[in-house]
Amino acid sequence: MSNAKVVIVGAGAAGIACATRLLAAGFSKVLVLEAEDHIGGRVHSIPFGRAKVDLGAQWCHGEDDNIVYQMVKDLNLLETSRCTYKDNTFYTSDGEVVDRELTDNLFGYAAEIMRDIQADSSSIGHYFIKNFIKKTIENFGSNDHCNEIAVMFIHWFHKLILCYDAAPSWFDISTKGLMNYKECDGDPLLNWKSEGYMRFFKVLMGEYEKKLLEHCLVLNSPVKTIVWNDGNHLLQSVLHCEDGSFYNADHIVMTTSVGVLKEKHKNMFIPELPLFKVNAIEGLGFGVVDKIMIKFNQQWWQDETCFCFLWKETDRMNVLNQFPIGPMKDGRSWLENIFGFFVIDSDPNILLGWLLGDFANDAEQLADKQIQDGCMYLLNKFLGDRYDIPEPEEILITRWYSNENFRGSYSYRSVDGENSNITNKDLAEPIMNQKQKPTIQFAGEATHPYYYSTVHGAVETGYREAERLISYYQKNEDPINEISSILASKI
């Protein structure tokens, strides 16, 4: 269809989706530059234990209007997860199991508040606490025990929210932004059995897998600078990679994470990006959620799938003296940001802990052994009176912020960005040259207006930007003729 040179930066879900759609449309010069030594981006499945585990994206979230689900629904790749993150058993920091009826009620109140959330200028944290306290007063009155558990539950639920919106705190997350997010109906936690989410990429590439991997993909090629065609000097943009190689492009499709854009946009783009794009990059939130997977030689727990931790205030203060290893802030320990351990489906002997919030970046600097010791301290503190917990065989820890090719996990809508009227659509808006030709386009989960932070959102944005180019060349002349006409006008 077109001889235009299209360079896609990033071989994650958005980049691969864009490339395959362009190849299918007949584009003959498509190149994908990937900084890592593998495709997938923030989808990365590796062997660990009996099967593969996902370091990044783990579930297919929902079925209706979910492009990932629709592409694989007939291939027997997905199954319902045992752990729902709703059927929870809560333990206090002195080893007691909290009454299940009480915690189910608290979870129900929380779910109701989040389901009926109303947009205002406040954060999710302020909105939730205000309404949750009202709920507990209405239902518990002056019951000291229930109210004490409710306060501990607020801290736990804060951390659960940060699993969905990767912010340092729920006081950074916008209520307006969260209302724009859409969930797909159907099972929200469909897992990929023993193969991991990377299995989806074979489906995504389809018949173009060989051509893409062998002829269009360049691995280990982080982009250092992009001298882009702003309509004043160049006929093409030029991408310079860290290894000294460079590539010309008529169109560039950026699928790098917002974390990378935040860190590098001032020095990466020559000339600097327009102000509207800079504001979008700086206004959208992008945070860190890390996984800690602990493998034991056998399953020492019973039929439980979720171990959720509620800190009593005295224990929360004492942890600073009992386990004074690792980052601490404002009288708190990084261990408080691991809010529980959860069973994964691919291996029954592995427990998954989530490390998130304002400690995640700093905790990534700890050695594996230090993190393992901290996790075992938690397990023994909360569960040790009920279980004989052995030492683990192996531990696997993600460090998404420390990797300069990601600088975090996924996006969220921030309070600051919302107050500046920044939305995901602002990041998605392409940069056009003087002839209204797309010069730099943006794809990836953070550019989706309502499926941000998801793989299905990323795939849709990759297709969106491919269709933008396809439509452009259906309406406009061939780029070779366009260049000839520009040169003729200058003679």
The per-residue pLDDT of the chain, averaged, comes to 94
Q: Which CATH number fits domain 89-184+289-397: 3.40.50.1440, 3.30.365.10, 3.40.50.2300, 3.90.660.10?
A: 3.90.660.10
3-state secondary structure of 340: strand
Residue 276 above 70 pLDDT?
yes
Report domain extents, the chain. 2-43+198-284+420-490, 89-184+289-397
pLDDT greater than 70 at residue 337: yes
Please tell me the predicted confidence (pLDDT) of residue 484. 39
- In 319-370, DSSP assigns E strands to 328-329, 332-333, 338-343, 350-356
Q: What is the pLDDT of residues 294-303, one digit of tens each?
A: 999 999 998 8
| Helix or strand holding residue 408 (H, E) | none
pLDDT band at 485 (very low <50, low <70, confident <90, very high): very low
Query: φ and ψ at 2, to 5 degrees?
Result: -145, 145
- 489 has pLDDT over 90: no
The verdict on pTM exceeding 0.85 is yes
Query: Is the model's pLDDT at 476 over the cut of 90?
Result: no
Order the strands of the 27-33 sheet from edge to edge: 217-218, 27-33, 2-9, 251-254, 438-442, 431-432
For residue 229, pLDDT beyond 90: no
Superfamily designation of domain 2-43+198-284+420-490: FAD/NAD(P)-binding domain (3.50.50.60)
pLDDT level of residue 121 (50, 70, 90 thresholds): confident
The predicted structure's pLDDT at residue 122: 85
The H or E element spanning position 185 is none
- Give me the pLDDT at residue 235, please: 82
Mean pLDDT of 271-285: 97
pLDDT tens digit string along 71-114? 999 999 999 999 999 889 999 999 999 999 999 999 999 999 99
Phi and psi at 5, nearest 5°, equal -90, 115
Query: What was the pLDDT predicted at 483?
Result: 45
Rounded Cα–Cα distance for residues 287 and 167 (Å): 5
Closest of 408, 429, 407 to residue 254, by C-alpha = 429
**Burial of residue 271, with CB atoms counted within 10 A of its CB: 0-12 exposed, 13-18 middle, 19 or more buried:** exposed
| The predicted structure's pLDDT at residue 136 | 94
For tokens 């882009």, name the residue. Answer: 228
Tens of pLDDT, residues 133-180 = 999 999 998 899 999 999 999 999 999 999 999 999 999 999 988 888
Q: How far apart are the first and last CA of the chain?
A: 29
**Predicted pLDDT of residue 282:** 97
Give the model's pLDDT for residue 482: 47
Phi, psi of 209 (to 5 degrees): -55, -50
Given this chain, do its domains 2-43+198-284+420-490 and 89-184+289-397 carry the same CATH topology?
no
